[in-house]
Amino acid sequence: MAYTIKDVAKKAGVSIATVSRVLNNQPGFSEKTKKKVQHVIEELGYEPNAVARGLINNKTHTIGVLFPELSSMLVTDFLNGIETMAHELGSSVIVCHTEADGEKTMKYLQLLNEKRIDGIIFVSAILKEEYYNYIRKMGIPMVLLSTESYSYPVPYVKVNDQHAAYSATKYLLNKGHKKIGMISGNKDDLIAGKPRIMGFEMALKDQGIAFTENNIIYSKGFGFQDGLDGMEKLMKQSPEISAIFAASDEIAFGALSFAYQHGIKIPDDVSIIGYDNLSIAEMAIPPLTTVGQPLIKMGKTAASMLFEMLESGNVFVENRILPHEILERETVREKR
């Protein structure tokens, strides 16, 4: 069994209060006893019990992160940013994957509540009323990452999806493309689906190009398979298209893959721009031009927002819209 503060106190010939004081560097001890206590701590290899500390301080220095799925390629970077910042600020992170399932999410929330975590980062999923109410009752701060809530006052960090989609489309237009298609995500997804579609549509309209349902494919999700299927449909539906805006990098990979299988040359026959800038975007063949989100930065930002709330005690903090950026690589070609 590990040593306790009592062992240290006894061996150093002081009370446990004194040991606690030097441990937390609180006033009330002489330089001499400090040395003595520290020496005993060193000697025994004593390390304080964070569980006991958590009990009395009502603080566990642990935060929870809820991902809808751990298989998405976004999570690596998000998690990376979150963990880095959290650790820098002295906290650990517990990961959960809810599989976008309401019941599982509630179970996780309950678990996190019982563990008395200090805060929650909720990633890439819609914040249902049930979740919000529960977390509210928990009385701990939360921030949304790569999602937002129209119904509840919860701070979030995101890029502006509509703007980013607008930028991507505009980029294609600037390259001289007129017939532009889109492989979108779910149009009923108000967070990542609809806004990107709207940005696409708006960019076309601003350029005086008619938006037609013929030029867009609505997928179920944002995955590779969606891109594969979407590309097939789009090519069949509107073969005259010269450029495509894919609503995610994974969709773009699917599109690239379909193109490869069917002898469509990218970017010679058709240009493609993705969305996300996953680390594998530059590994694609050809390297994927995409509108990038600062993923790691977003994770870090979410974490620091959470800690800001923890320290200040405020339940709210300013939202952060992080800038997107076009990464010019090799899947888009100038249209003569």
Partner DNA sequence: CTCTTTTACGTAAACGTTTACGTTGGGTGG
Partner DNA sequence: CCACCCAACGTAAACGTTTACGTAAAAGAG
Pairing of strands 325-327, 290-292: antiparallel
Q: What is the 3-state secondary structure of 213-264?
A: HHHEEECCCCCHHHHHHHHHHHHHHCCCCCEEEECCHHHHHHHHHHHHHCCC
- Backbone φ and ψ of 274, nearest 5°: -100, -165
Q: Residue 26 or residue 49: which is nearer to a copy of itself going by CB?
A: 49
Which one of residues 27, 42, 51, 210 is an interface residue with a copy of itself (CB under 8 A)?
A: 51
Strand pairing partners for 307? none
Residue 71 binding result from DNA, a copy of itself, none, given CB thresholds of 5 to 8 Å by partner type: a copy of itself
Q: Residue 81 or residue 155: which is nearer to a copy of itself going by CB?
A: 81
- Footprint of DNA on this chain (CB under 7 A)? 1-2, 4-6, 13-18, 20-21, 23-24, 26-33, 46, 48-49, 52-53, 55-57
Q: Residue 2 or residue 285: which is nearer to DNA going by CB?
A: 2
Q: How many CB atoms lie within 10 A of CB 182?
A: 28
Site string for a copy of itself, 84-123 (x = CB under 8 A): x--x----xxxxxx----------x-xxxxxxx-------
Q: Is the peptide bond before 287 cis (omega within 30 degrees of 0)?
A: no
Which one of residues 79, 182, 192, 197 is an interface residue with a copy of itself (CB under 8 A)?
A: 79
Residues in the chain: 336
- Report the distance separating Cα 51 and Cα 326, nearest Å: 46
- Tell me the residue type at 121: I
Residue 110 binding result from DNA, a copy of itself, none, given CB thresholds of 5 to 8 Å by partner type: a copy of itself
Interacting residues toward a copy of itself by CB under 8 A: 1-2, 45, 47-52, 54-55, 60, 62, 70-71, 73, 75-77, 79-80, 83-84, 87, 92-97, 108, 110-116, 137-139, 224, 250, 253-254, 256-257, 260, 279-280, 282-287
